[in-house]
Amino acid sequence: MTATRFELLPIAGMQEAARALPEGAVVSVTCSPRHGLERTLEASEWLVGEGFHVVPHLAARLIQDRAHLERLLEHLAQLGIDDAFVVGGDTEQPVGAFPHGRALLEALAGCELRPARLGVPAYPEGHHRIEATALQCDLEAKAALADYAVTQLCFEAQPLLAWRERQRRLGMTLPVVAGIPGVMEPRRLLAIALRLGLGPSVRALRRRSGWMSRLLRPSPYYPDGLLEQLAPRLGDPLGGFVGLHVYTFNRVEAARRWLDRRWGLVAPRAAVAEPGGGAVTSAGEPLA
């Protein structure tokens, strides 16, 4: 079974959304400049108490210095969290010593309390603020320090598959998790895509017959076409994707029901393998 992980936003309604997840699910918790790392840690602590396998986002630009980082790691260790996702963070200016995710990864490499697994974001469709060559160099540098990568939210398979094949040819062996949308209203999904700068996928959505008219309808969007094309490459750690990362935006119940009934892809914690072993566990934040 392909491992499935769910991303939650630590905002009002998160706890109710989490209760719709399968028992022991892998839950990624985002971090924003508005709410800060403390909100992420508070949400992570609650989720751990509910029996979930929690993967908090560590935003480099929100960490002040080495002492602050060590306090964060001690907190994670006390909670029994052994997996974290390292991102640059959305804030324009770093508050301290870590201007980007790579700097934080380098610092974590020398920490005794480094989590057993560290994930990093990947951008098959590029990043609206970072040039493609710089993104690739950054990913290659991070691959030596991380344990897996999770792609940005994508609406169609072709950019994901083409990017994955290119990484395979370049020799990247880092396990990759494919980021897919959950089930939600098309208008909201398009707004999210535009905000994140997902150009190729947005153009693909607009090219589809009747897509723009369907934005006015109440029926939800189901990414079945995306999964149909990804299915042959799921579970392949060498040239495919070792799992799925569902960007739920806290619309959990419909996404879980769809994945379970239509695809049989809702995996409890016991079914989640270690990264690199065949199946594992957001990336809206900037990579830098």
pLDDT-derived band of residue 273, with 50, 70 and 90 as boundaries? very low
pLDDT at 238: 86
Check if the beta carbon of residue 33 is closer than 8 Å to that of residue 91.
yes
Q: In angstroms, rounded to a whole number, what is the distance separating the alpha carbons of residues 177 and 3?
A: 9
16 or 237: which leads in pLDDT: 16
| pLDDT at res. 130 | 87
pLDDT digits (tens, 9 = 90+) for 169-216: 999 999 999 999 999 887 777 777 666 655 555 555 555 545 555 555
CA distance 100 to 264: 37
Share of the chain above pLDDT 70, in %: 82
**Boundaries of every domain in the chain:** 3-271
pLDDT at residue 10 in the model = 97
Cα–Cα separations (whole angstroms), residue 249 to 110, 233, 242: 34, 25, 22
Give per-residue pLDDT as tens, 18-29: 999 999 999 999
Q: What is the mean pLDDT of the chain?
A: 86
pLDDT at 287 over 50: no
Give the C-alpha separation, 85 to 120, whole Å. Answer: 6
The predicted pLDDT at position 199 comes to: 54
- Say yes or no to pLDDT of 31 above 90: yes
Q: Please report, as a single letter, which amino acid is at residue 215.
A: L
Instruction: Return the pLDDT at 204.
Output: 54
Nearest-angstrom CA–CA distance, 1 and 118: 22
Q: What is the mean pLDDT of residues 106-112?
A: 95
Q: What pLDDT is stored for residue 192 in this prediction?
A: 73
Mean local confidence (pLDDT), 273-277: 41
Beta-sheet pairing, 176-181 with 117-122: unpaired
Does residue 6 contact residue 247 with C-beta atoms inside 8 Å?
no
- The 3-class secondary structure across 159-171, one letter per residue, is HHHHHHHHHHHCC
Per-residue pLDDT of 73-101, as tens digits, reads: 999 999 999 999 999 998 889 999 999 99
CB atoms under 10 Å from CB of 92, counted, come to 8
| Predicted pLDDT of residue 198 | 55
Which of 10-14, 137-141, 207-211 shows the lowest per-residue confidence on average (mean pLDDT)? 207-211
* CATH class of the domain comprising 3-271: alpha beta
Does pLDDT of 277 surpass 50? no
C-alpha span between 150 and 131 (Å, rounded): 19
Look at residues 145, 150, 53 and name the one whose alpha carbon lies nearest to residue 106. Answer: 145
pLDDT attached to residue 201: 55
Contacts of 124 (CB under 8 A, 6+ apart): 151, 152, 154, 159, 160, 162, 163, 164
The number of beta carbons lying within 10 Å of the beta carbon of residue 50 is 16
